[in-house]
Structure 1
Amino acid sequence: MVKTAVDIEDLVIWTYQAQRADVIEGWSDSREGDWLAGGNRTIEAVLIERGAIGCEIDTSPVPASSRLHPDAEAIHEAVTGLGSRIEIGLLIQHGRAGTRPDWLPAARTRIVPAEMRWSRRHREYRPRIEYDRNRNPVCCPVRIVDHPQKIEAARTVYAIWREALADLAEVFRLHPARLRDHAVAGPRAPARPWEAASAPAGRDAMPRRAYGG
């Protein structure tokens, strides 16, 4: 039997978006609660607190007639067998949504005034300046836009997601018989897109059409 070669990312999207494998297989919200709880202050807990990741599991009833494709079942089994709970959450979350983690390609760390005020004299908005009792300028309160830690956190999440895809693809390259109709390719997603000179300026987390095989 000739198998269809499909990128692992598209297979994951198909598994969770079209097949809804996590729902049919009963991937319960209690399990999700375990890894979202975080426990100790690990990098997982920090990233979750920052809102960098999240995975709300849909536990709505599934019709009794629902049947899971054997390849989707195999993909889901391999995903939930990954060693890292954060990898499992990222693959399921972005598989459902058909997205990639946003690595903030347009982010640029800069310092800007904390507040702008309208100047009647100059008829324009100007930074708020603080003065001493003699009306001498003392300072201009500022804030940091796109803090380096924010950018690093976003790119760490993307790197974890991409590595999880690569690990998943390797499972099926080593054991191709686990899939009946598909052969795994990829992942085509770049490993560190921010290092590429031609990295796009737009956001990379827009929904994409799921594989519908």
Structure 2
Amino acid sequence: MSIQRQIGRTGGTKVKRTLGVQAALEWAFRVEHAQLELPRPKDVSEEGFGFGLEYVLLQRAMLGCKVDGGQHKMGRYTHPDAEVIAATVAGMPHSLGGIRMAIQVAELARAGLTPDWIPGVVPRCVPLEIKNNQHGERATTIVVGTERVKTRGKWRTVELLACPVTWRPHPEQIASARRGYADWWLALDWVRDGLIAGGMLLEVEVTAAMPKVRPWLASSRK
């Protein structure tokens, strides 16, 4: 979807562009090149919640409600709504990952990406190691014991061999990727609620639309 800077008007009344939170983030960081490099309020500790909506509103009031891109955006105009979205992301609470999650949300939006939850993969049991020789590929085996066997009337000691195996991708790798997606989803949910509740966006309206909560469940039913 093409996101344009100009907001349409109908009958002389300004019409807000409606966007889901993911699309709004991509517009702010990818199209408007908003940044997270904002000064931390002096009265907020490292364990605090960063930039609250009240702080953003205060900064707007001090600037006469006209944000021209911020001190980090010399020579480039950034839409005021994009600055508000960026400041809201920068206020990510510690319980949702804090600044680490804020950076992840911003960078994914800037790239137009969704966290990789490893779709379409099924763990397979495979040899731990493969060796190549003149006969082709062969799974590596290890000696796990010995056994006495009688062949042609004689007792012999033979080695018991086993092939170490593993799961690829490992189920924990898949689970970890999907936990990461779930954490990102919760962060977007928080940003969406904050932007809607704050009511500070002038030309963009964030809707209730969200990415799928567990896309792998829908994928598994296909």
TM score, norm. by length of structure 2: 0.64
Equivalence for 1:17: 30
Counterpart mapping for 1:42-53 below 5 A: none
- Tell me which of the two structures has the higher relative contact order, counting C-alpha pairs closer than 8 angstroms and 6 or more residues apart: 1
Structure 1 distance, partners of 2:92, 2:125, is: 40
Counterpart mapping for 1:1-213 below 5 A: 1-22=14-35, 25-26=37-38, 64-84=74-94, 85=98, 86-118=100-132, 120=134, 123-131=135-143, 134-176=157-199, 178-197=200-219
Structure 1 distance, partners of 2:116, 2:170, is: 15
RMSD (Å), alpha carbons: 2.8
Q: For residues 127 and 179 of structure 1, do their structure 2 counterparts lie closer, same or farther at Cα, with a shift above 3 Å needed?
A: same
User: Where does the alignment leave 5 or more consecutive residues of structure 2 unmatched?
Assistant: 1-13, 41-45, 48-70, 147-156
Partner letter of residue 104 of structure 2? L
Structure 2 distance, partners of 1:5, 1:12, is: 12
Q: For residues 139 and 198 of structure 1, do their structure 2 counterparts lie closer, same or farther at Cα, with a shift above 3 Å needed?
A: closer
Partner letter of residue 17 of structure 1? R
Asked if 1 retains the 8 angstrom alpha-carbon contact of 2:19 and 2:204, the reply is yes
Structure 1 distance, partners of 2:193, 2:187, is: 10
Partner letter of residue 113 of structure 2? T
Query: How much has 1:113 moved relative to structure 2?
Result: 0.6
Query: How much has 1:108 moved relative to structure 2?
Result: 2.3
Structure 2 distance, partners of 1:188, 1:78, is: 17
Equivalence for 1:204: none
TM score, norm. by length of structure 1: 0.66
Structure 2 distance, partners of 1:5, 1:13, is: 13
Query: How much has 1:67 moved relative to structure 2?
Result: 2.2
User: Where does the alignment leave 5 or more consecutive residues of structure 1 unmatched?
Assistant: 29-33, 36-60, 201-213
Of 165-174 and 191-200, deviating more is: 191-200
Structure 2 distance, partners of 1:27, 1:126, is: 59
Structure with greater Cα Rg: 2
Asked if 1 retains the 8 angstrom alpha-carbon contact of 2:120 and 2:219, the reply is no
Structure 1 distance, partners of 2:168, 2:18, is: 43
Partner letter of residue 21 of structure 2? I
